[in-house]
């Protein structure tokens, strides 16, 4: 008989295909894609900082174009990894989502200028 906690964990997994990845010391396709995804995330963060500090409009426009391409590539790599079953997600419990929502709603009373931002 399966442990009820294990059943809940299995029900919370967002389904995607599972792929067998060889366990060898050499880098495989998943390793290469994961490495590229990590690099794209780093580049996106770096371009974001550069955009905030660009002092010339043409430079800003060029950086924004490169940032957008990098962000789109990051998203495509994420989708590829998810489709191949290399990037797993778990659905969150509805009760926990509601608790978090209520907690953050409570923070709104701490904001200055209440009611002016919708």
How far apart CA 37 and CA 15 sit, in angstroms, is 21
- What pTM, to 2 d.p., does this model score? 0.60
Task: Supply the Cα-derived Rg of the chain in whole angstroms.
Answer: 21
Name the residue ranges covered by the structural domains of the chain.
Answer: 26-82
Tens-digit pLDDT string for the chain (118 aa): 444 444 455 556 666 656 666 677 788 888 999 999 999 999 999 999 999 999 999 999 999 999 999 999 999 999 999 999 888 778 888 898 899 888 888 887 777 776 555 5
């Amino acid at each position: 008989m399966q442990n009820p906690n294990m059943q809940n964990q299995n029900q919370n997994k967002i389904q995607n295909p599972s792929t067998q990845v060889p366990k060898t010391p050499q880098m495989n396709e998943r390793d290469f894609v994961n490495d590229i995804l990590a690099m794209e995330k780093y580049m996106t963060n770096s371009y974001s900082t550069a955009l905030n500090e660009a002092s010339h409009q043409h430079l800003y426009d060029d950086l924004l174009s490169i940032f957008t391409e990098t962000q789109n590539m990051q998203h495509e790599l994420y989708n590829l990894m998810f489709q191949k079953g290399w990037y797993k997600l778990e659905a969150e419990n509805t009760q926990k989502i509601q608790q978090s929502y209520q907690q953050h709603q409570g923070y709104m009373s701490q904001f200055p200028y209440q009611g002016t931002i919708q």
